[in-house]
Amino acid sequence: MNAKFKANFDLTLKPDYRPLELEKEIREFWEKNQIQKRLMDFREKNNVGLAGYVEGPPTLNGIPHVGHARGRVIKDLRYRWKTMQGFFVPFWAGWDCQGLPVELEVEKLLGVKNKRELIERVGEERFIEECKRAIMKYHREWVEADRKLGVFINQEKAYWTYKDEYIEREWQYLKRAWEQGLLEEGYYVVAYCPGCQTSLSSAEVGYEDSYKEVEDPSLYFKFKVANSQNEYFLVWTTMPFTIITDMMLAVHPEAEYAKVKVENEKWIMVKQRVEPVMQELAIKKYEIIETATGKSLEGTRYDYPFKDVIPKQAELDKHPHVHTVVCEDFVDVNTATGVVHLSPGNGEEDFFAAQKRGVPIFAPFDDEVKFTKEAGVFSGIFARDTDKMVIEELRKRGLLVEAKTVKHEYPTCWRSHHKLVWLARKEYFLRTDKINAKIVEAAEKVEYFFESPKNRFLSFLKEGKPWCISRERVWGTPLPIWRCENCGEKTLVASKKELFEKALEKPPKNFELHKPWIDRVAFKCEKCGGIMRRENYVLDTWHNSGASPYARFTDEEFEKYVPTDFLTEGIDQTRGWANSLLLEHVILTGKAEAPYKAFLFQGLTQDAKGRKMSKSLGNIVEVNRLLEEYSADVCRFYMLWKCSPVDFMNFDLKELSRRPHQVLSTLYHLNRFFLQNAEYDNFNPQKHTLEWALKEKQLKSPDLWLLSKLQATISECTVRLEKCEFNFAMSTLEDFVIDSVSRVYVPMIRKELWTDDPKTLNRRLAIYATLWHVLKTVTLLFNPVTPYLSEALYQRVYRKLDPTLPESVNFEGWPKPEEEMRNKTLEEEFQLLFKCVSLVYSARQSARLKRRWPLSKMVIVAPENICSTIKNFEEFMLELANVKNVEYAQKAPEYTSQKGWVSTSEDPIQVLLNIERDENLIGEGLMRDLARRVQALRKELGYVPTDILNTVHIAELDEENIRLLKPYLRDMAELVRAKNVQLHGKREDAKLEWHEYQLDEKKVYIAIA
């Protein structure tokens, strides 16, 4: 670890906190010295334990935006923090490369409209090459974003979900499923996107934003009861095309159904809906003439009306259950007519109802969801385009009651936004429904940190539907099942080796585990000697990424790192990666165990106004662009500080530049203040330790108080990080830096540092020992959040003063609270002191007196014990309050009732403040006002606090002010670290570089020479 430090590294802290510049320098430092790689190598060999990790792979089909950045910042925070705690984390990248999103983008790029055109015009081979090229383009963007953000993820060890070696290991999950009888082929109703021409998993159907308001027909129609004169079932639907595949009507067995007389017809519907439906249909004259239970209607046949135009339906009609009434509990009697028509080819519940009764599934659709020949007159037409024709056919037959339109929420494809169609298709399924209890049990053991995402995830899992994993696409992991053309025998192959051994012809050199190459491999059937060909599917891309815990590691690594310690992804991944990881792991291991011990779901990131970021709104903030102008550290801090990780975050650039920037800037300047003073007095951290200061009895109560507060900050910050309450961890750090160190401690000790008297040198060194310890610890606490700033401070302050320190802040350990430094009594006592000071501040505010203006006297009225406590710290309280004298009393003294006194109080303390200022106090106040401007000028001109100025010149004060100021020129010289201060009448009197300042209503001129 003591490798040679590369030279030419800038070791100065510039006067201003300029994060962009600093981050560039630190990045170069890291890269030149290979800090990231060496840190990981070091921890792999020297650790207190392992903290497993698998990267949730970003899909390489988009530019990284701030929402992604938030997730990556959380991951990196966790990595750096755990590494500092001594754990080895395999923080290795991974990329999700295959699947529909990539295909759709490449289709667009190639200008093809659908899959058929793609295969005919482009061909699968070229298409695969284009997909690979497309992902590489995005890969460069992601790597650059990680680099700029300072994310220490190992890019060299990244996994790629399209590589053969990954796919082979992914197949092992299928092999395990196959062995357990959990991988099956079968008809099933799936959500199908006519645009993408593939089925979707039930998880995909529920995606954010996939429900859109659409307009559909609202249709009331009648089916005539067979062999009746004028009796009809009244039915409602929004999908008229499903009447083409209608097989049964369903009623609720326990509900009461009515025969309603309308003109000379009798309509059958559920009784409780008669009135509202009649109202909706604007039928005023009607009469309920008979009622009966749903159960009594069971088995009633009805005349299916399209037998003449759909010959297949005429054939199916011969089946005993087809076109009869069945009883089903799922029938909702609170909407529509309580009579539901069932199309097992187009609905999940309908499908089950048919399967139960052995009713055939009629699903005459091709891949573009056009009706096939079996649908008679409707053949060749896209399903949803037949809605109008169906309505017309009903009208012709006198069966149409009313056709209107309705607007309702309807699921659309999350990628292409086509309306989904439910279709019975032959697909491959992982029968996760069979092992659902185990899956839920596994999920219940996981730590989720927050209740709402946990509930969301568990209730989704409890639905327990089978997982349709086959996709009729190209760019994906091939389903490794071959089927005999002759006898239907099937075999699953789970490795390249096995595949090569079985292949009838030796595969070519450029062979890879993708279409079209794999489709050209045929086997010989072991049962009948026939030819076996591959089932033409690829796998759901979620299966591909969900295989990462096993597929990305070796067997040995898998044993070590899985179940992983901690994973985090967006809340949308409850239905995505978190789900597929879990299902696959339970299949692979057969255990009720998730592949992760803890999972943090992050809220999504929106724009400043709380709107979703989208291309159409043009409000997407790209990471690489953002970080050209804004600091990575400030962004990182902001993302963690602004809200809880589970909350939706409104990302606001204005807010980013305010408080978060201020916090980091304050930390920077505190370090600079410390360094300059410490260097001036030749502070040596190895010699002037806290132990030394204690032994020398040089530590005073402010130092002890600050050290105590530091311990509280360390434990609070650590506990909050453990609970993933990052925002609270950040505000703990924020409070410590801004309030405890900057607003309280530094003002209490500043005066002691002004002098260079050798007699008080040890006291100054004790203050430096305190600041060294406190600020260095804070720098470490900030490292997982603001790695650039922490590294810069570490190199330019701490390693500068102590070159024996490790070569990077990342090699430091995570601070642990030291109980012996904690002093709760002292903290409580200081709390009282701060209360008095804040009462003085509010009294000053009400009298419009600046804090810089000294006042003569205050009285503290409080119980005796409180008074005596404050008395112990009197000197510091007066310093902070900027008051010359204090008296203590249990009752307000008589004289404070006179003019010139103001009072503020907060039980049990009352503060009385004398606000009258004589010439001396006014003069001193004026001096301080001017001194502040001189300090600003010093800084502007690049002087460091320890530089001693020759002369400070002040011009154009009025007579009165000159008179008031004169007695304080000596004090002022000391305060601004100048040998002397000279007053001038007109600024023309001296040829100097004057700087203009506003002093109350007037102008004043200052020069430094």
Query: Which tokens sit at 879?
Result: 């310093």
Tell me the C-alpha distance between 194 and 9, whole Å.
Answer: 60
Q: How far apart are the first and last CA of the chain?
A: 48
- Nearer of residues 414 and 768 to Zn ion, judged by Cβ: 414
Tell me the C-alpha distance between 86 and 89, whole Å.
Answer: 9
Residue 530 CB, shortest distance to Zn ion, in Å, is 4
- Please state the φ and ψ torsions of residue 636, each to the nearest 5 degrees: -60, -50
Residue 809's nearest CA partner among 833, 832, 789 is: 789
Tokens 């069966």, residue located: 399
Tell me the C-alpha distance between 916 and 920, whole Å.
Answer: 11
- Nearer of residues 322 and 413 to Zn ion, judged by Cβ: 413
Tell me the C-alpha distance between 631 and 569, whole Å.
Answer: 24
Question: Cβ neighbours of residue 431 under 8 Å, at least 6 residues apart?
Answer: 181, 182, 183, 184, 466
Is 525 a binding residue for Zn ion by CB under 5 A? The answer is: yes
Query: Which tokens sit at 711?
Result: 């311990």
Question: What x-and-dash track marks residues 161-200 binding Zn ion by CB under 5 A?
Answer: --------------------------------x-xx----
- Nearer of residues 204 and 725 to Zn ion, judged by Cβ: 204
Query: Which tokens sit at 663?
Result: 């916090």
Please, what sign has the CA dihedral across residues 197, 202, 206, 208? negative
Tell me the C-alpha distance between 669 and 781, whole Å.
Answer: 17
- The site for Zn ion, by CB under 5 A, has a size of 14
- Out of 373, 527, 658, 979, the only residue in the binding site for Zn ion (CB under 5 A) is 527
Site residues for Zn ion, window 380-419 (CB under 5 A)? 413, 415-416
Left (φ > 0), alpha (ψ -120 to 50) or beta: where does 618 sit? left
Residue 538's nearest CA partner among 509, 510, 508, 518 is: 518
Residue 775 CB, shortest distance to Zn ion, in Å, is 56
Residue 210 CB, shortest distance to Zn ion, in Å, is 10
- Nearer of residues 420 and 587 to Zn ion, judged by Cβ: 420
- Nearer of residues 475 and 726 to Zn ion, judged by Cβ: 475
- Nearer of residues 197 and 245 to Zn ion, judged by Cβ: 197
Tell me the C-alpha distance between 287 and 296, whole Å.
Answer: 21
508-543: burial string, b at 16+ Cβ within 10 Å, e else: eeebebbbebbeebbbebeeeebebebbebbbbbbb
Task: Compute the radius of gyration of the chain from its Cα atoms.
Answer: 39
Question: Cβ neighbours of residue 754 under 8 Å, at least 6 residues apart?
Answer: 974, 975, 977
- Nearer of residues 400 and 413 to Zn ion, judged by Cβ: 413
Residue 470 CB, shortest distance to Zn ion, in Å, is 16
Residue 720 CB, shortest distance to Zn ion, in Å, is 42
Residue 487 CB, shortest distance to Zn ion, in Å, is 3
Residue 82 CB, shortest distance to Zn ion, in Å, is 40
- Nearer of residues 261 and 418 to Zn ion, judged by Cβ: 418
- Nearer of residues 530 and 900 to Zn ion, judged by Cβ: 530
- Nearer of residues 109 and 288 to Zn ion, judged by Cβ: 109
Element (H, E) at 924: helix 919-940
- Nearer of residues 195 and 549 to Zn ion, judged by Cβ: 195
Tell me the C-alpha distance between 783 and 150, whole Å.
Answer: 11
Please, what sign has the CA dihedral across residues 381, 385, 386, 389? negative
Residue 212 CB, shortest distance to Zn ion, in Å, is 13
User: Measured between alpha carbons, how far is residue 925 from residues 752, 912, 919 in Å?
Assistant: 20, 20, 10
- Nearer of residues 415 and 515 to Zn ion, judged by Cβ: 415
- Out of 283, 391, 528, 969, the only residue in the binding site for Zn ion (CB under 5 A) is 528
Beta bridge partners of 601: 569
The answer to whether the beta carbons of residues 110 and 104 sit under 8 Å apart is: no
Residue 486 CB, shortest distance to Zn ion, in Å, is 5
Residue 805 CB, shortest distance to Zn ion, in Å, is 57
Residue 526 CB, shortest distance to Zn ion, in Å, is 8
Residue 169's nearest CA partner among 184, 159, 179 is: 159
Residue 473 CB, shortest distance to Zn ion, in Å, is 11
- Nearer of residues 196 and 634 to Zn ion, judged by Cβ: 196
Helices (H), 387-482: 387-396, 436-444, 451-462
- Nearer of residues 293 and 491 to Zn ion, judged by Cβ: 491
Residue 217 CB, shortest distance to Zn ion, in Å, is 22
User: Can you say how many angstroms the Cα of residue 544 is from the centroid of all Cα atoms in its chain?
Assistant: 22
Residue 37 CB, shortest distance to Zn ion, in Å, is 42
- Nearer of residues 469 and 656 to Zn ion, judged by Cβ: 469
Beta bridge partners of 270: 257
User: Measured between alpha carbons, how far is residue 541 from residues 474, 480, 667, 793 in Å?
Assistant: 11, 15, 46, 45
Angle of helix 824-846 relative to helix 701-722, nearest 10 degrees, comes to 100
Site residues for Zn ion, window 881-940 (CB under 5 A)? none
Tokens 């700029």, residue located: 148
Residue 537 CB, shortest distance to Zn ion, in Å, is 17
- Nearer of residues 176 and 473 to Zn ion, judged by Cβ: 473
Site residues for Zn ion, window 465-504 (CB under 5 A)? 484, 486-487, 489
Tell me the C-alpha distance between 574 and 208, whole Å.
Answer: 11
Query: Which tokens sit at 165?
Result: 């070696």
- Please state the φ and ψ torsions of residue 428, each to the nearest 5 degrees: -105, 140
Query: Which tokens sit at 806?
Result: 């490790």
Tell me: cis bond preceding 563? Omega within 30 of 0 counts.
yes
Residue 104 CB, shortest distance to Zn ion, in Å, is 8
- Nearer of residues 377 and 492 to Zn ion, judged by Cβ: 492
Residue 427 CB, shortest distance to Zn ion, in Å, is 16
Residues found near Zn ion in the complex (CB under 5 A): 193, 195-196, 413, 415-416, 484, 486-487, 489, 525, 527-528, 530
